[in-house]
Each structure stands twice: as structure tokens, then as C-alpha cells.
Copies of this chain bind each other. A is one copy, B any other.
Amino acid sequence: MSRPDWIALDWGTTHLRGWGMTASGSVIEERHSEDGMGRLGPDGFEPALRALCGDWLEGGPVPVIACGMVGARQGWAEAAYARVPCAPLSTPFTRAPGDLEVAIIPGLSQSEPADVMRGEETQVAGFLALNPGWDGVLCMPGSHSKWAHLSAGEVVSFRSFMTGELFSALSNHSVLRHSVGGTDWDDAAFDDAVSETLSRPERLAAGLFGIRAAGLLHGQGSGTARARLSGLLIGAELAAAKPYWLGQQIGVIGAGPLARLYVRALAAQGAPAAQANATAVTLAGLTAAWKLRSQT
């Protein structure tokens, strides 16, 4: 393969994905490893990068653009947050220590209510690059789901919800682990649960225990239980995020099952949402960052 003109990195807590890129923003090759920020010490980042794509780095400096938790305080180099309202990509990027030419995109912060993001700002930038002039609200489902209000190319405000991490913690480390195993799914149960907590969000904690009780008393199956757990949590998130999405143009980042659940739940509220592929917007955001860096 030809040597890339630059390297794009999405470097999160649990994973590292790298793309060898052409100057025009096309992908030559994609690679990934499990060398996420969470398992690396300060001296582990350069070896992890060389392990993934050392051959791309031979024979002269190749610019590297990275986003995600690699820029956290426990990461390779802390990239101080840019404070909203601001454009999703804030220069200057942070240079990682060492001989490689690695630029890390800073995350965004919000003072009140206190909130932070790292990595999602690059998705926002990519979405805007692919949809110039787009105003509205972006939903980015995940461990810490983000809702961002975009206007005139800036992130005006945003809010994070621990929905994904709650689902994981409850599925694996609570009494519900006995109820939600397997891979079955029940769409109707999901819809009902979303509706319950969206209209009565205070019912979340009781609804969670009710999943266990319904299994004991009524033989509720694991597919229904898992769909109810997901629905109760997403419904509560939608209730809290309502000031964001109500009456707004909505984009959901992600093409997988989780993003589809958000789109389904929003549609049931009469709020149509467009879906965008997460990898595509991440790459578009890293490409936008690379162009921005080339200009400065």
C-alpha cells in the first residue's frame, strides 16, 4: 500500500482506531487495537501507536491527528477543554510529547451546568462538515450519552447522561443481572417503558425493581426485562433532554442498535430524527481538524 499522507486516530478509553489517510481525506487502510487510554500509562501511548501503525510512520514525519480520551489528564497529553459556546474544533491542538508529530484535539467543557466531552466534539465537527449550515440538536448515544445544541457552526450548550453506564452497571452488578441475560428483545416492552419514564421520570427507581418483581411473580422473560431496562433508562433521558429535542431538527449519531432505539423512541414522540454513521462523522471530523491544522 502507499504511505499515508496523514494518520487519523480515534483514541478512547477502551479502544484505539487508526486510519491511514490521503491528503484529500480518503481512507487507505483502517486498523484497530485494544490499547485504549484506560490501560496505558503516560509512557505507553507512543509504543501503542507504533505497535498499531509503525510502518506508516517510517521514512519521514507523518502528521497524526487524534481525538478522544487520549487528551484527558490521564492520557498522553492533557488537551485543555475549550469552553462552549464555541466551534467544535478549537485550535491550537495539543502536541503530544516525543518525536512523533501528534496533534490532539481538545474536548469541550461547559461551566454551568458542569459538563465535559472528549471525542464527541470531533463527531459534531464531522457532522457539520458533512451537513454544512445545519442547525439543530445532535444526540450521541453511548456510555455517557451527549445532547448538543448547534447553531451557526457552534456548540451552544450540551448535556451528558449516564444512561449507557447505568444500563451496564445494572445489567452486570445489580439484582437485575438475574433478569436480563441473553439476547432476546421485546419492542413493545421497550416502547411502553420509554413512555412510562418519559411521562413520569420519577418512576425510574421503582420501575427498575419492578423488572425483578415481574420476573418473580409473572414469569416475565429476559427479552422483555432487557427491553424494559433499556426503555426505562432511555425514556428518563429523553424526559430530561426534552428542552433539547422538542421542536428541533434532530440528528442521532450512530447506525447500530443503540442509535436505532433512540430514533424509535423519538419517533414515538412525533420527533423524527436523522441518523448518521458514527465512523463516518468521526473521520469527517478528524479530516476537518487536519485541514484546520494545515492552515494554521
Contacts and interface: CB of A to CB of B under 8 A. Distances in A.
Q: Is the interface of A mostly helix, strand, loop or mixed?
A: helix
A210 B165 contact: no
A289 B101 CA distance: 75
Interface string A77-118: 000010000000000000000000000000001110111100
Contacts of A208: 161-162, 166
A237 interface: yes
Interface residues of A, number: 47
Contacts of A205: 161-163, 166, 233, 236-237, 240
Interface stretch (A44-52, A60-68, A214-222): A214-222
A216 B116 contact: yes
Interface of A: 73, 81, 109-111, 113-116, 143-144, 159-163, 165-166, 168-170, 172-175, 201-206, 208-210, 212-214, 216-218, 233, 236-237, 239-242
Q: Considering the complex of A and B, which 3 residue pairs feature the smallest CB-CB distances, nearest first?
A: A201-B202, A169-B169, A202-B239
